[in-house]
Amino acid sequence: MKDVYILAVESSCDETSVSIIKNGYEDVATIINSQIDVHTKYGGVVPEVASRLHLENITMVINECLEKANMSLSDMDAFACTYAPGLLGSLLVGVEATKALSFIYNKPLIATNHMMGHIYANMIGNKLSYPLISLIVSGGHTDLILMESEDSFKYLGSTLDDAIGEAYDKVARILDLPYPGGPNVEKYAQSGKPTYKMPQIMNDESFNFSFSGIKSHCNNLVHNEHQRGHEINKNDLACSFQNCVTSHLVDKTKKALLQYNIKTFLLSGGVAANSFIRNSLKDMCDEIGVEMHMPEKKYCTDNAAMIGAAAYVLYKHKKFSDLSINAQSHITLND
Ligand code: KG4
Ligand code: ZN
């Protein structure tokens, strides 16, 4: 069969990324232009600034990617973009650029769901077998999904309040650690001990998650200690928080794998770059005889390679979009 090359664009938040993916699993070239340095000054992503920077960078990043791959736009079999969910103004830049390429080169346009991208980051350099259960842990989502096949998504549970990445970022702010919070909380936790008592997180029969209680608990704890004139041990609090949220992920995931008798587990999303979470879920999977897949860390946080991998699945099923497609801020995997 002829090789299929897809040029994919990701611009849903604060990374302008372009990738060329061969046959859905080979990363030919990926460029990630991060805006972190700019947003750090504001303590978080400023949507208007993000879309402006995407606009300034998109052409350059496309060209850089083509140069790295030593390919040209006419070599592509399709053009893919993230069209949802994410920041509307940011998404629009990638969507419109990709539409233009698809129109000019008369090749299919593949509008790709960002969350599907996170899941299929697991396909890069890897083969998957179904059925499987997938856990997405990102800045906006914490979803446990049953996949009977490569294009079927049954939500088993989701967060009822904050996403886990959001909780990491808020705890970082409480501890006065710079944006982006998640990696910094992980760094502090590495040399800490779980000495602070954490609340019992919702341990019900559902597969849903909740992270706002622990976030408020950390906030109150720091506030009370400051009022008493006590110093907070940031390493120990980061470690206590991380242990607590990780147990929550492990407990719910284990319950779902056992209840549905599923033997393959996928981890994905920006928070999946966290070594403690990776190792804890892996230990649980080993204990119950489940095969676990997780993307390389560079494919966990936002990148266009994962969009190219997901787009290839849509390409195979001929799920193409026309030029009327628009960016959307909120959608599920089944919309
Ligand atoms: O998937 P992602 O790059 O963007 C979204 O789609 O949301 O995820 C970003 C989230 C942020 O909340 C960030 O703090 C978190 O992932 N994150 C981490 C780590 N690396 C990124 N959280 C904990 N530990 C990490 N090492
Ligand atoms: Zn993401």
Which of 40, 138, 142 has most ligand 1 atoms within 8 Å of its beta carbon, as the pocket-test mutant? 138
Residue 213 has pLDDT above 90, yes or no: yes
pLDDT at 1: 81
Q: Is the pLDDT of residue 180 over 90?
A: no
User: At residue 205, does pLDDT exceed 90?
Assistant: yes
Residue 157 Cα, ligand 1 centroid: separation in angstroms?
Answer: 20
Which of 166, 184, 271 is the pocket-test mutation for ligand 1 (most atoms within 8 Å of CB)?
271
Crossing angle of helices 181-190/234-259, nearest 10°?
100
- pLDDT of residue 203 exceeding 90, the answer is no
Which residue reads 């242990």 in tokens?
Answer: 243
Average pLDDT over residues 287-291: 98
Q: Say whether 34 sits in a helix, a strand or coil.
A: strand
Average pLDDT, whole number, for the chain? 97
- In a 3-state reduction of DSSP, which class is residue 5? strand
Q: How far apart are CA 84 and CA 88, in angstroms?
A: 8
Q: Is the peptide bond before 295 cis (omega within 30 degrees of 0)?
A: no
- Prediction pTM value: 0.97
Residue 133: what residue type?
A: I
274 lines ligand 1 (CB under 6 A): yes
Of all protein residues, the one whose alpha carbon is nearest to atom 2 of ligand 1 is: 270
Mean pLDDT for the stretch of residues 41-58: 94
CATH class of the structural domain 129-294: alpha beta
Q: Which ligand is closest to the CA of 245, given by its number?
A: 1
79: its two tokens: 């053009």
Nearest CA to ligand 1 atom 7: 139
pLDDT tens string 53-102: 999 999 999 999 999 999 999 999 999 999 999 999 999 999 999 999 99
Name residues with Cβ closer than 5 Å to ligand 2, which is an ion.
138, 302
pLDDT digits over 122-176, tens only? 999 999 999 999 999 999 999 999 999 999 999 999 999 999 999 999 999 999 9
Q: At residue 256, does pLDDT exceed 90?
A: yes
Answer yes or no: is the C-beta of 165 below 6 A from any ligand 1 atom.
Answer: yes
pLDDT tens, position by position, 220-241:
999 999 999 999 999 999 999 9
pLDDT surpasses 90 at 306: yes
What does the alpha-carbon distance between residue 223 and residue 249 come to, in Å, rounded to a whole number? 27
Enclosing H/E stretch for 113: strand 109-113
Fold of 5-121+299-316: Nucleotidyltransferase; domain 5 (3.30.420)
Question: Three-class SS string for 160-210?
Answer: CCCCHHHHHHHHHHHCCCCCCHHHHHHHHHHCCCCCCCCCCCCCCCCCCEC
Give the model's confidence band at 43: pLDDT under 50 very low, under 70 low, under 90 confident, else very high: confident
179, pLDDT greater than 90: no
Residue 44's pLDDT band (cuts 50, 70, 90): confident
Report percent pLDDT > 90 for the chain: 95
Looking at residue 108, its amino acid is P
Which atom of ligand 1 is least distant from the CA of 301?
3
Say what angle helices 212-227 and 234-259 make with each other, to 10 degrees.
160
Tokens 């794998």, residue located: 257
Numbered ranges of CATH 3.30.420.40 in the chain? 5-121+299-316, 129-294
- Can you give the pLDDT at residue 247? 97
Q: Ligand 1: distance of its center to the CA of 33 in Å?
A: 16
